[in-house]
Amino acid sequence: MDDLGKVLIVDDNEDVLFALKLLLEPMAEKIKVALSPDKVEYFMTTYHPDIILLDMNFSQDAISGEEGFNYLSNILQIDAEAVVIFMTAYSDTEKAVRAIKAGATDFISKPWNNEKLIATLSSAIKLKRSRKQVSELRSQVEYLSSLDSVHGEIVGESQAMRSVFDTVDKLSNADANILILGENGTGKDLIARLLYQTSLRKNAPFVTIDLGAIPEQLFESELFGYEKGAFTDARKLKIGRMEIANEGTLFLDEIGNLSLSMQAKMLTALEKRTITRLGGTEQRPIDIRLICATNNDIHNMVYKGDFRQDLLYRINTIEIHIPPLRERGNDIILLANHFTNLYSHKYKKDIRGLSREAKQKLLKYSWPGNVRELQHVIERAVIMNDMTVLRSEHMMLNDSAKQSKKEVDYSTTLEELERNAIELAVRRNGGNLTHAAEQLGITRYALYRKLEKHGL
C-alpha cells in the first residue's frame, strides 16, 4: 500500500496512542503523538503532518465532541487544506455528518477495525497529495500568468481601478501625451508600462527616466545626450534618452522634480520635436509619445510658479489619477493574495492564503505607503512564516502613531485592558507568540485563543 506520510495522533488515552503507533509505524514515514490538543499548533508549524488523527473528547466532557470541533476549526485556520480524521467512542450519524461539513476528511469510531482504519488513512494520504499537486499547479499557473499578463502586477477590481483600466483601454488607439498622478507606491510606473503595451507604439522602444533619482546637473545630459568632448569627462558620445525613445514611448517618472530651466528646454524640444545634444549644433528630429508621472500636486506647483503651465498643457493631454490603496476596498485583499502567491513561489514556501483576522487587519490599516508598502509587508510575512496560512500577528504594520497612543491610553473595561496588553506584548516581541505568552504569564495556546477572541 502507499506510504502514509507523516502522521500526527492526538488522544488523551496513552493506550490508544500506543496501539495506533504500533499499527501504523510500518506504513508511515514518521509518527508523532500528543496527549493534549494544545500541542497541535506546535506540531503543525514544526512537523507539518500529512494526516492528523484527532480525538473528539478531552477534558470538558465525555461525549459531545464539541472540543474536537473547536480544535478542528483552529487547525483549518492554520492550514485550510489540512487532512483531519476524527476519532470517538461516541459516534452517531448526526455527528459524522457535522464533522464532514465542518471540514474533517473522515470519521472513525472506537474501537476501530484495523483494515478499515488503514484503508481510511490510505485514502486520506492520496487526498493530501492531490491537494498539494493542485496547489503547486495553481501557484505555477498564477506565477506564469503574472509574468505573461499585460497587466502584470496591476491587480484590482474596485470601481476606482476599473475606471483607470477603462481610460487605458480608450487610449489604446490614441497617441496622446499622458500625465499619471498619484501618491508614492500606487503603481504609476505599472500603469505607464500598461499604456505602452496597449498602444500603437508597443513594438517600438519604451524608455524610462526616474527624474527623482538623477542629480539636477545631469538632467540635460540624460535627456538630450552629449557629443564627445562636450565637457571635461565627455570622453565619448552619449545618446540621450529622448533620442533612444524615437518612434517609441518616453516615460518621465517624477516629472515634478524637473528644474524650471530644464522645463524650458523640455518644452522647446516637445514643441519643435527636435533635440540638440550637449556640445553639438545639429538638431535631431524626435517622434515620441510622452508619459509622465508625479506624486506632487502639479497644479498647485503651477499656481506657486514651480512648474510651467505651458509645459503642463503639453504633457497632460489626458490625466490619469491612480487611487491610493486605502480607497480601493477589497483590492487590498486581492493584492495581498497576489503577493502571497508570488513570494510563496519565490521563496519556495507552502503558504496558501491569509486568515480572516489577517484580512481584517489589512483592511483596517491606512496604507500610507500604498501598494509598495503592502508588497513589503507580505514579502516579510512570507519569509518569516513557516505556517501554511498568514495570520494577523504576521502582518507587521507601521502605524506608529496609533501604536504609541495605545501604549498610553487607559481602557475602561477589563476586556479592553486585556486586548491592549496582548497587542503590546505581541508587538514588543516582534510577533513571536511564545515570547509574548511568556511575558503575559500564560501558555501559548491560551494566547492563541485570546488572539482569536479579540480578532487580532
Summarised one tens digit per residue, pLDDT across range 123-146 is: 989 888 888 777 656 654 554 444
Q: 68, 88 in Cβ contact below 8 A?
A: yes
**Cell numbers representing residue 134 in the block:** 493542485
Q: Say if residue 331's pLDDT is above 90.
A: yes
How far is Cα 286 from Cα 452, in angstroms, rounded to an integer? 62
Q: Which CATH class is domain 159-322?
A: alpha beta
The pLDDT-based confidence of 151 (bands split at 50, 70, 90) is very low
Q: Are strands 238-239 and 225-226 parallel, antiparallel or unpaired?
A: antiparallel
Residue 42 near residue 8 (C-beta atoms within 8 A): no
What is the mean pLDDT of the segment spanning 415-433?
76
pLDDT band at 255 (very low <50, low <70, confident <90, very high): very high
Q: Residue 179 pairs with which residues in a beta bridge?
A: 292, 319
Q: What is the pLDDT of residue 407?
A: 42
In sequence order, the 6+-apart residues with CB closer than 8 A to the CB of 93 are: none
Instruction: Decide if pLDDT at 98 tops 60.
Output: yes
Q: Exposure of 74 by Cβ count < 10 A (0-12 exposed, 13-18 middle, 19+ buried)?
A: middle
* DSSP assigned state of 393: G
Q: For residue 109, what are the β-bridge partners?
A: 88
Is residue 402 pLDDT above 70, yes or no?
Answer: no
Neighbour count for residue 23 (Cβ, 10 Å): 16
> Residues 231, 308, 188, 181: what is their CA dihedral angle, to the nearest 10 degrees?
170
- pTM reported for the whole predicted model: 0.58
Cell numbers representing residue 31 in the block? 509518527
Averaged pLDDT for residues 180-197: 93
Task: DSSP letter for 25, please.
Answer: T
CA 321 to CA 332: how far, in whole Å?
Answer: 18
pLDDT for the residue 61: 56
Cα–Cα distance between 246 and 315 in angstroms, integer? Answer: 17
- Identify the architecture of domain 6-135 in CATH: 3-Layer(aba) Sandwich (3.40)
Confidence at 453, pLDDT banded by 50, 70, 90:
confident
pLDDT digits (tens, 9 = 90+) for 301-317: 999 999 999 999 999 99
Mean of the pLDDT values across residues 219-242? 87
Range list for CATH 1.10.10.60 in the chain: 399-456
Q: What is the mean pLDDT of residues 158-163?
A: 92
Q: What does the CA dihedral 320, 324, 326, 330 come to, rounded to 10 degrees?
A: 50
What angle is formed at CA 133 by the lines to CA 129 and CA 135, rounded to 5 degrees?
115
| CATH T-level assignment (fold) for domain 399-456 | Arc Repressor Mutant, subunit A (1.10.10)
Are 102 and 54 within 8 A, CB to CB?
Answer: no
- pLDDT greater than 80 at residue 184: yes
* Rounded average pLDDT over 35-43: 86
The set of cell numbers assigned to 300 is 498647485
Q: By the 8 A CB rule, do 125 and 5 touch?
A: yes
Q: Are 238 and 213 in contact (CB under 8 A)?
A: no
Mean pLDDT for all residues in the chain: 85
Of 122, 60, 118, 127, nearest to 100 by C-alpha is: 127
**What residue ranges of the chain are covered by domains with CATH 3.40.50.2300?**
6-135
pLDDT at 403: 43
pLDDT of residue 149: 43
* Burial class (CB within 10 angstroms; exposed 0-12, middle 13-18, buried 19+) of 61: exposed
How far apart are alpha carbons 165 and 197 in whole angstroms? 13
Bridge partners, 390 (sequence order): 354
pLDDT band at residue 425 using 50, 70 and 90 as cut-offs: confident
